[in-house]
Amino acid sequence: MLQFFIRRLGMVIPTFIGVSLFTFALIHLIPGDPITIMGGERGFSEDKRAELEAMLGLDKPIWQQYFVYLGNILQGDLGTSYVTSQPVLSEFMTLFPATVELTVCAAIFAVITGLTLGILAAIKRGGLLDHTVMTISLTGYSMPIFWWALLLILLFSVNLGWTPVSGRLDVMFWVDEVTGFMLIDTLLSDEDGAFLSALSHLVLPAIVLGTIPMAVIARMTRSSMLEVLGEDYIRTARAKGLSKRRIIVKHALRNALIPVITVMGLQVGLLLSGAILTETIFAWPGIGKWLVESIGRRDYPVVQGGLLLIATIIIMVNLLVDLMYGVVNPRVRHSK
Amino acid sequence: MTETDKSLLVVHNLSVAFGTKDNPFKAVDRVSFHVEEGEVLGIVGESGSGKSVSSLALMGLIDFPGRVTADELRFKTTDLQTLNEKARRKITGDEISMIFQDPMTSLNPSYTVGNQIMEAIEVHQGGSKKERLAKAIDLLRQVGIPAPESRINNYPHQLSGGMSQRVMIAMAIACDPKLLIADEPTTALDVTIQAQIIELLLKLQREKQMGLMLITHDLALVAEAADRVVVMYAGQIVESGPASEIFKAPKHPYTQALMNSLPESSEGKDRLNALPGVVPGANDRPNGCLLNPRCPYATDRCRVEEPGQLGPRGRQVKCFYPLDESGRPTYE
Amino acid sequence: MTMTSETQTTVRMPQTPLAEFWSYFIQNRGALIGLCFIVFIVLLAVFADFVAPHHPHEQFRDFILVPPAWTEGGNIQFWLGTDGVGRDILSRLIHGARLSLLIGLVIVTVSLVLGICLGLLAGFTGGFVDVAIMRFADILLSMPALLLAIAIVAILGPSIVNSGLALSLVYLPHYIRLTRASVLTEINKDYVISSRVAGAGALRLMFIVILPNCLAPLIVQATLGFSNAILDMAALGFLGLGAQPPLPEWGSMLATAREFIQSAWWVVTFPGLIILMTVLAFNLMGDGLRDALDPKLKQ
């Protein structure tokens, strides 16, 4: 098992190096040089410019600059925001919990709904439920996520008034930030109604963000279940006189979930992409919104650092998914 | 031997149809047979003969779009067709068991062997985990698996083909079934293992006095192991009777052809004897007797009229001109 | 005693591959609907100048935020109403179709062609070239598509051309991987070996011998890639990184619509609806293609 883990870890490192190369290259593609950009409209004097160049190491050859960059990253220095002058990493860490909270809730929604729909569709194959689920799924991943958000806001916030339009918490509440996760922090605080407020703010964004993953999971679960239900060992289980419920839950599901787990892992990338759009619409103070704003403000260190951090997180999550796959599928564990 | 009220299993005019109502494909066409307690019934036929489908229909394992119909489907005194799903499931795996052709894919790869055997016991007999575990280990011992205490925690992919089939057998006999259906139990195994598995099956059958339905395309196997034999072709039974009689003097041209195609009968010749042509598929069923395009003795009558089962109960042939003792058709 | 047998058999004439594919395809009602819609919208896009009632950039100062024709306060001149500066939404949608389809075509074509070339190279050459190309693909794949596109556009500057470029790069690895996998499957087959022995050069082997047999999954991926291109292009437009105003790109129409969500629902609904329908049509067709080209995968 350990061997398996080490092997997978080994494959991650070159990918990480590659990503860092890419983000490094990206910045150097900006038309104009960094110092001019930093200088903004006023610009710098010749001396100041030379001073900055030396300080930022821009006078060194490019490959050397890369190694300086790499070294900085590994020490946790991802640059400083042009706009706020705060270290990119610390800004990221401040805003990250909000995105995590949103993403996790969206993922929970997607998994529970998607699995349920997929299983039901497979069991009642060819029936009305099956067709309905497939249609919902297809529509789900054909939809532009930002439009879906606007529609839901139109319906539930504007017309029905059930949910708020934006933000994480009603302005009238003041909650101490303990974990960064509003749901937990509101429970910990003694403000009445804060938790409910946090929950109602979370509902719509989570559903919007989770819609596409839900559609994909539903589809994948259905086809995986159908394939498994046609396998010989299901026939054996029936020949043993097992109840339908037991066959589906114990025998079929365990095997059907294996490819679905891989798909779920791949959804993380999709979730983070979607978070960018979702946070923008709901004014959710997470890294997605932060990134979009920094693009508008030409805050390049943030763009570069944010991209690197998100890519790293995705790589880590994929590694985790691989490991989980090994746990769930005994055949993979025992192979060389 | 003919069927009686004491018969273990009685099947009358079992049919399994696929396809549309106006254009059905009869995978099994009005098949009748019976199994007595403690006897071995061999069902012989090529692939496409409907032998496997018949057994699946018995077990209630045929799904839409297949349609199962029968005049009678009786197990001991129970009419299988009137049972509701729950009652049917109670018998399945308990009093009637089945093992399948490919043991490597017939076991769930995500659970240990022990888990799957114990499940069969749990569902039909109950008992504490300790009791079931002990029973499972004992079953593995009965089917000849060495070191059962450690094998019980193996996953199916860690077992060889022969071992897997033994596990399947253990699972099937876990609840002491009265009838065991074995659908091509050795076809997917190595030749050396085949004999071992058959020996095991027969030994268990004798010890427990189970009825055994042995489904296979292997004539030689059936000749040795079975008490009575039923020969199937293209979904129909073409000959039935005691094994010794059928092999000494087959009455149906198809049975004769099967016997002739055994390598032993071709000794001294250049080529294996074989019937020309192939088993009819869904779209090319001939009129009259289904064998007529390939039968060396076919007459005009065979091409138009479908023969019924001729002969005394217990020794029947579906042919107008059954072969006599010297192997020639009795045209008159 | 044999006479001429008169067994009844039905013999079917084998169909050509194209006819066989088509007969599978039309059995899928969804795919057929998708195809019809696509044809319809392509026609709209091609004949936009004639079909659209107004010019997409024309602002009618007296008709700002007019609701759809069938509602109260609507105007028959503007079937789907007008936006915040008085432009006819229907005309903008029609011209937007031309934009979206065109840029989608460019994106898919560029990434397909480049992806095929790189994939063929990787699968065929093997060794260091293969490893390098695959690493490159892996790196691109480890970053979420939209995020990557946003980053690239951020660097290059927002415009429709730059977002097209960015998206082409982002989709590239999928085609590389697909092609390479197909090549690796085919390369040891007899027909390739015999072509080699007959003296076929590398280029000929790659493009003429092997590639035609890898086309099926590529076609399916390209169709689905079209729908991704439309969605992602709209997303970039929504974020202000894609088509710049006053271009009537569907996504950027939604960006400007945000402020009217409480007052003018039609400005928000229709652009999104047409994106949905177009993407749905491509997805349905892609599914139909996949099922028809490989019946084994039929669900």
Peptide bond into C56 cis (omega under 30): no
Those residues with Cβ within 8 angstroms of residue C96's Cβ, 6 or more apart along the chain or in another chain: C56, C248, C249, C250, C253, C271, C274
Closest CA to A279 of A149, A172, A142: A149
Amino acid present at C148: L
Each residue's pLDDT tens digit, A158-171: 777 777 777 777 77
The predicted-structure confidence for C273-294, as pLDDT tens digits, reads as follows 999 999 999 998 888 888 777 6
- Which residue from A211, A66, A64 is spatially nearest to A151, judged by alpha carbons? A211
C138: contact with A, CB 8 A cutoff: yes
**CB of B268 closer than 8 Å to CB of B260:** no
- Gap between the Cα atoms of B237 and B240, Å rounded: 7
Q: What share of chain B is helix, strand, coil (3-state, %, to 5)?
A: 35, 20, 45
Greater model confidence, A145 or B282: A145
Most A CBs within 10 A among C100, C141, C142, hence the mutation to make, goes to: C142
- The verdict on B102 touching A (C-beta cutoff 8 Å) is yes
Q: Which of B7, B9, B3, B20 is nearest to B282 (CA)?
A: B20
Q: Determine whether the interchain pair C135/A291 forms a contact, defined as Cβ–Cβ distance below 8 Å.
A: no
pLDDT along chain B (332 residues), means of 10: 75 87 83 90 87 90 86 88 88 91 91 92 89 91 90 90 92 92 90 89 91 89 89 90 88 85 66 72 80 84 86 86 81 69
Mean of pLDDT values over C53-65: 81
pLDDT of residue A110: 92
Residues C191 and A44: their CA atoms lie apart, in Å, by 67
Joined tokens for residue A5: 């883990």
Does the global pTM surpass 0.95?
A: no
Residue window 156-175, chain B: list those with CB within 8 Å of chain A.
157-158, 168, 171
Q: How far is CA C176 from the centre of its chain?
A: 17
CB C297 within 8 A of CB C290: yes
Tell me the pLDDT tens digit for each residue of A188-206: 777 777 777 788 888 889 9
The total number of residues shown for chain B amounts to: 332
Q: How confident is the model at residue C4 (pLDDT cuts 50, 70, 90)?
A: very low
- Residue C108's pLDDT band (boundaries 50, 70, 90)? very high
* B303 in contact with chain C, both atoms CB, cutoff 8 A: yes
Q: For C248-263, what is each residue's pLDDT tens digit?
A: 888 888 888 778 877 8
A14-28 pLDDT tens trace: 888 888 888 888 777
Are the beta carbons of C147 and A276 closer than 8 angstroms? yes
In sequence order, the 6+-apart residues with CB closer than 8 A to the CB of B102 are A232, B188
Task: Write out the DSSP string of B215-246.
Answer: EES-HHHHHHH-SEEEEEETTEEEEEEEHHHH
Reference C149, options A205, A287, A291; nearest CA is A291
- Which residues in B lie closer than 8 A to residue C9 (C-beta atoms)? 283-284, 286
DSSP run (H or E) holding C131: helix C127-141
The pLDDT assigned to B272 comes to 61
Query: What are the tens digits of pLDDT across the range A263-307?
Result: 777 777 788 888 888 998 888 888 888 888 887 777 778 888 888
Q: Report phi then psi at C209, rounded to 5.
A: -90, -55
Interface test mutation site (partner C, options A133, A295, A304, max chain C beta carbons within 10 A): A295
Q: In this predicted structure, which of A50-59, C17-26, C37-46 has the lowest mean pLDDT?
A: A50-59
Q: Indicate the residue type of A293.
A: E
pLDDT digits (tens, 9 = 90+) for C215-257: 878 888 888 889 989 999 998 888 888 878 778 888 888 888 7
Q: Which helix (H) or strand (E) holds A303?
A: helix A300-328
ipTM of predicted complex: 0.85
**B303–C6 C-beta distance less than 8 A:** yes
Query: DSSP string of A41-53?
Result: TT---HHHHHHHH
Which candidate, B103, B92, B109, B20, places its Cα nearest to that of B58? B92
Nearest CA in chain C to A281: C258
Residue A314 near chain C (CB below 8 Å): yes
In this prediction, residues A214-224 reach a mean pLDDT of 90
In three-state secondary structure terms, A329 is coil
Name residue, tokens 């002990």. Answer: B134
From chain A residues 175-234, the ones with a CB under 8 A of any chain C CB are 222-223, 226
Chain B partners within 8 Å of C13 (Cβ): none
Q: How many CB atoms lie within 10 A of CB A13?
A: 10
Structure confidence at residue C62 (pLDDT)? 79
B218 CA to centre of own chain:
11
- Measured CA to CA, the distance from residue B307 to residue B190 in angstroms comes to 39
Q: In the predicted model, is pLDDT for residue C143 greater than 60? A: yes
| Residue-level pLDDT at A33 | 63
pLDDT class for C298, splitting at 50, 70, 90?
A: very low
What residues of chain C have any CB closer than 8 angstroms to a CB in chain B? 1-3, 5-10
The reply to whether residue C235 touches residue A277, judged by beta carbons under 8 angstroms, is yes
Between the alpha carbon of residue C78 and those of residues A262, C73, C88, the distances in Å are 49, 11, 6
Stretch C197-209: mean pLDDT: 78
Lowest mean pLDDT, pick from A307-316, C37-46, C65-74: C65-74
- Residue-level length of chain C: 299
Average per-residue pLDDT in chain C?
Answer: 82
Residue C2 has what pLDDT? 40
Examine the pLDDT at A173 and tell me if it is beyond 50: yes
DSSP B265-307: GGTTSSS----SS----SS-PPSSSTTTTT-TT--HHHHHS--
pLDDT at C6 over 60: no
Identify the band that residue C266 occupies on the pLDDT scale cut at 50, 70 and 90.
Answer: confident
CA-to-CA separations, A230 to A116, B28, B63, B106, in angstroms, rounded: 19, 21, 11, 11
